[in-house]
Structure 1
């Protein structure tokens, strides 16, 4: 009989933790998991899923308008109900959380609906149950949380946690930040009917993305009526009449808003978990330091997902959790690849990207590159009144002809980049793209019909 109560104890039932628990239990391991809030984690409860639901809802505004270009007449002006969307979103989130729980129960994972803290290298305390459980292995998958800047009145602002459950749609909203969350919410709130101002301390949004993508999205944001303030940020916030917020910018001017929304970054959830007592090493941002196998400096304690602050994306956390389960209980040792991860930004227009940016290839990898890019109106928008453009770019190694990066902005960019990522991951060359027969008429066919090399100063196609 084992000296431990379980073979694996998982702290945090988000995407990575749930995957590790299920796969481990499938191998016959005795597994327990603790979650203090709702099973499903950030992505399901207050992240990717509710965000995408709201993004899709916001795009119906364009769909109603576009319909006229195809001969449809809308009998009356469409009306939007924030409360109806919020309730429908909550219903779907509840359904997904229940599925996560049923999947754990189906594999005989022992579920504890309480906060858990690490006591030592092999012991976890269940706070709500006032007892301890011993484990041969412990996995920390507690994710992260939004952080706000240290300014006067910061407590008067909201984060992405609260944005999904606002009592009403704000008339005027200020969104602070320039990353995924800021851009996605700026676009969806604007389309749902809010007057949106986006402020960012940098010169452009989406730091780390290809410069052409950043420029194209900046143009698109302005064209859609979003007020964009770059090289600036919030100095302080104060409450004024009618439950409004007066914002003073670093530049000295002020504006009034119904809601101020900070999307200025996230930090790992490691405080109060007892990790220091167990001797687990943390990084400068509070992240758990791990090796390529998600192992901490304490041999039997592991961590996956955003709490490690490696690549903070849900699919990456899932792969890390799966790899850990395979290694510990399935005798299938493999390492998740963090170097080539496709990603999408669900702004409108959408962004999809995989591989190296042009700047990374030239300046970091010191590779001579050929650049292929195009900018065009899709057939759909030729028939509508919208001027939205699709932008595509290939970064190709000039010597080997290998496609190093694919960057797309436009409708369904996220769907397209998922398929492109397979080709890039397999080492496809530009010749491989060229020999692929185009599917016509589609926007995606442009990826295999690009022929003219562009230098860094030439614009894309019309």
Structure 2
């Protein structure tokens, strides 16, 4: 059993910052992350920064391949910088594997057939979250349906793209792909886009979407999703 002053489960923004500060204070720290590709946390690897890179690239007139390539370069660089920031610190042990609690102060880290037992007075859980899939028949069984992480990593640009949900994330991808030349349809079951924003903001965004050529379908409920040839068929209903 290896003893630490603190154990962090999940390499998010909060844990990497606190782990570094504790190491600087001469504390012995363990950082546990199940995925090497997530070193540094969500923001730099699959969220804020990668999507902003894509948005910036399309504004500059980049092609799909160029935008995706630049995203990959930025993510790899930031991932490595964040990894080295902790891995090179003598006060931090970076451990990749799945963490589980044996007791309230004992952690087992499993990676394949290897297992480590760690203990600490303080254990911080910073594992983040996973995308919520809407309850639509067949949505999880269709290989051409992507979540917000997978849509950033496509190898081939889709000619047509349906986006379910007109919140900030859905609108961001609608903007990116429409400007890349993909025909985008935005489907929202609510009465309007950006339901938490002020009416003036919603209207301005709607105007921009219309100018870009994005088709917006509000008050529309998706009934079923199914594969059809090389694409996806979306069945929806609306009272209008």
TM-score of the alignment, normalized to the shorter chain, above 0.5: yes
Q: Which moved more, 1:187-196 or 1:36-45?
A: 36-45
The match for 1:82 is: 64
C-alpha contact (below 8 Å) 1:175/1:197 kept by paired residues: yes
Task: Give 3-state SS (helix, strand or coil) of 1:248's partner.
Answer: strand
1:56 to 2:73 alignment: no
The match for 1:30 is: 28
C-alpha contact (below 8 Å) 1:176/1:233 kept by paired residues: no
1:94 to 2:92 alignment: no
The match for 2:14 is: 16
* Alignment partners' CA distance in 1, 2:104 and 2:200: 48
Q: Which of the two has greater strand per residue?
A: 2
Alignment of 1:384-403 (within 5 A): none
Shift of 1:52: 0.5
Alignment partner of 1:136 out of 99, 113, 121: 121
* Alignment partners' CA distance in 1, 2:12 and 2:107: 18
C-alpha contact (below 8 Å) 2:2/2:117 kept by paired residues: no
* Alignment partners' CA distance in 2, 1:118 and 1:214: 46
Alignment partner of 1:192 out of 168, 171, 180: 180
Say which structure, 1 or 2, has more relative contact order (CA 8 Å, 6+ apart): 2
C-alpha contact (below 8 Å) 2:163/2:174 kept by paired residues: yes
1:251 to 2:238 alignment: yes
C-alpha contact (below 8 Å) 2:53/2:70 kept by paired residues: no
1:46 to 2:29 alignment: no
Alignment of 1:289-308 (within 5 A): none
Could you tell me the TM-score, scaled by structure 1's length? 0.48
Shift of 1:237: 0.7
Shift of 1:170: 0.7
Q: Structure 1 runs of 4+ off > 3 angstroms?
A: none
C-alpha contact (below 8 Å) 2:219/2:239 kept by paired residues: no
Shift of 1:4: 7.3
C-alpha contact (below 8 Å) 1:4/1:136 kept by paired residues: no
* Alignment partners' CA distance in 1, 2:203 and 2:67: 32
Alignment of 1:277-292 (within 5 A): none
- Shift of the 134–89 alpha-carbon distance from structure 1 to 2, 3 Å rule, reads same
Larger Rg: 1
Shift of 1:56: 0.4
Once the two structures are superposed, what CA deviation does each residue of 1:321-342 show, in whole Å capped at 9, x if it has no partner?
xxxxxxxxxxxxxxxxxxxxxx
* Alignment partners' CA distance in 1, 2:101 and 2:195: 36
1:172 to 2:149 alignment: no
Once the two structures are superposed, what CA deviation does each residue of 1:334-365 show, in whole Å capped at 9, x if it has no partner?
xxxxxxxxxxxxxxxxxxxxxxxxxxxxxxxx
* Alignment partners' CA distance in 2, 1:210 and 1:251: 24
1:126 to 2:129 alignment: no
Alignment of 1:333-372 (within 5 A): none
C-alpha contact (below 8 Å) 2:99/2:110 kept by paired residues: yes
Once the two structures are superposed, what CA deviation does each residue of 1:240-261 show, in whole Å capped at 9, x if it has no partner?
11x20010003399xxxxxxxx
Task: Give 3-state SS (helix, strand or coil) of 1:146's partner.
Answer: coil
Once the two structures are superposed, what CA deviation does each residue of 1:9-52 show, in whole Å capped at 9, x if it has no partner?
00001222211211121122111001111202221111111101
Q: Which runs of 5+ in 2 are unaligned?
A: none
* Alignment partners' CA distance in 2, 1:208 and 1:27: 42
Q: Which moved more, 1:5-14 or 1:111-120?
A: 111-120
* Alignment partners' CA distance in 1, 2:97 and 2:66: 31
Shift of 1:107: 3.2
Shift of 1:138: 0.5
Task: Give 3-state SS (helix, strand or coil) of 2:11's partner.
Answer: coil
C-alpha contact (below 8 Å) 1:124/1:133 kept by paired residues: yes
* Alignment partners' CA distance in 1, 2:204 and 2:63: 31
Alignment of 1:217-256 (within 5 A): 217-241=205-229, 243-251=230-238
C-alpha contact (below 8 Å) 1:177/1:198 kept by paired residues: yes
* Alignment partners' CA distance in 2, 1:190 and 1:102: 37
